[in-house]
Structure 1
């Protein structure tokens, strides 16, 4: 008899990343040097990772220029949506220069995101 797997169960590599994350810091260039700055707590920014790896924005809508895969601590995970996605009306006005592979350094309840150098690195913490 074939083993059935729940389609809403994230693979082992992705599972620690599933959930809601808040931006806490980001890199910027000051006087030619990269420095970390604290994100504004008054206007928080969030990312959501679904069980299938799909990345959603602060309004829980799909990103306009999403990655095709995630590299989580050296392990690559290809994103294949397993359930319907709502439409993000903002995307009609966006000309994408996306990053196919996001590099994520995950430790417990924090991760550093590098999206091909499109923007500088960002640090997120898990929202309980």
Structure 2
């Protein structure tokens, strides 16, 4: 009878180990972009050429990534139209809030839903591409 009790415990233990490995991998994927980033340039098309246009530094916009992937502005207000997943340098990171996020201010937001946000980062520079063709360049603060 004791053996029947130990078999389910063994399965629970094995599945928990797998989840720990997945969580550790997800932590490593998001770790480089966690923190505050300042928007510096926006890619725009001018005469059929894509060029980077500087953003006014007086009215700087900031994007803050939490370790669970949730995005905020510099005042801690959650991004209303955020994706469900990030593609960070080609690696997939599923956004799963670990603490409650207040989206009450989003009631009037008109969002064009984008399931995956593409992020390329290198050092202290990050380029974000949403589902629209516009790209945004940020530097880490």
Q: Give me the TM-score of the superposition, normalised by structure 1.
A: 0.85
Cα contact 1:27–1:120 (8 A) shared by 2? yes
List gaps (5 residues or longer) in structure 1.
Answer: none
Q: Which runs of 4+ in 1 moved over 6 A?
A: none
1:47 CA drift (Å)? 0.4
Alignment correspondent of 1:49: 65
Cα contact 1:61–1:88 (8 A) shared by 2? no
Tell me the C-alpha RMSD between the 2 structures.
2.0
Q: Give me the TM-score of the superposition, normalised by structure 2.
A: 0.78
Cα contact 1:62–1:88 (8 A) shared by 2? no
Instruction: Note if 1:59 corresponds to 2:75.
Output: yes
List gaps (5 residues or longer) in structure 2.
Answer: 1-12
Cα contact 2:80–2:103 (8 A) shared by 1? no
1:18-76 per-position Cα deviation (integer Å, ceiling 9, x unaligned): 00000011111222322110110010000000010001124321111111010001100
- How many residue pairs get aligned? The number is 121
